[in-house]
C-alpha cells in the first residue's frame, strides 16, 4: 500500500491511497469518528482517482494512529473468532 500525504496541517491531514479501493478509507474514517476525531473518505471518480482520506481535529495524526491500532485489534479478534469457528 502506498500512501501519499497531500496536506499536513495542524488540524487537517489529507492522504491519498494509491491502487486501493475506498474500503480502507471508509474503515479508517469510521474508526476516526469513534476515536473522537472527524474524517471523511473521498473518491471523486471511481476509475481515474485514488481514494483519499481527510482527518480533522486537534491532532489528526494521533486520531489516525489510534484508528489504525483499533482496526488492527478488530482484525485480530476476527481472525481468532474465524479460527475457532473453523475448528467446530
Average pLDDT, integer, range 40-46:
87
Q: Is the pLDDT of residue 43 over 90?
A: no
pLDDT at 37: 95
Q: Is the pLDDT of residue 74 over 80?
A: yes
pLDDT at 47: 78
**Domain containing 10: what range?**
2-87
CATH number at residue 38: 3.30.1360.10
Average pLDDT, integer, range 25-47:
93
Average pLDDT, integer, range 61-69:
96
Average pLDDT, integer, range 56-64:
95
User: How would you write the chain as a 3-class SS string?
Assistant: CEEEEEEEECCEEEEEEECCCHHHHHHHHHHHHHCCCEEEEECCCCCCCCCEEEEECCCHHHHHHHHHHHHHHHHHHHHHHHHHHHHC
Domain count along the chain: 1
Amino acid at each position: 500500500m502506498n500512501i501519499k500525504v497531500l496536506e499536513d496541517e495542524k488540524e487537517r491531514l489529507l492522504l491519498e491511497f494509491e491502487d486501493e479501493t475506498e474500503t480502507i478509507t471508509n474503515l479508517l474514517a469510521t474508526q476516526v469518528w469513534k476515536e473522537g476525531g472527524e474524517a471523511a473518505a473521498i473518491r471523486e471518480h471511481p476509475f481515474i482517482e485514488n481514494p483519499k482520506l481527510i482527518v480533522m481535529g486537534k491532532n489528526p495524526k494521533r486520531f489516525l494512529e489510534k484508528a489504525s491500532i483499533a482496526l488492527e485489534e478488530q482484525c485480530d479478534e476476527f481472525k481468532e473468532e474465524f479460527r475457532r469457528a473453523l475448528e467446530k
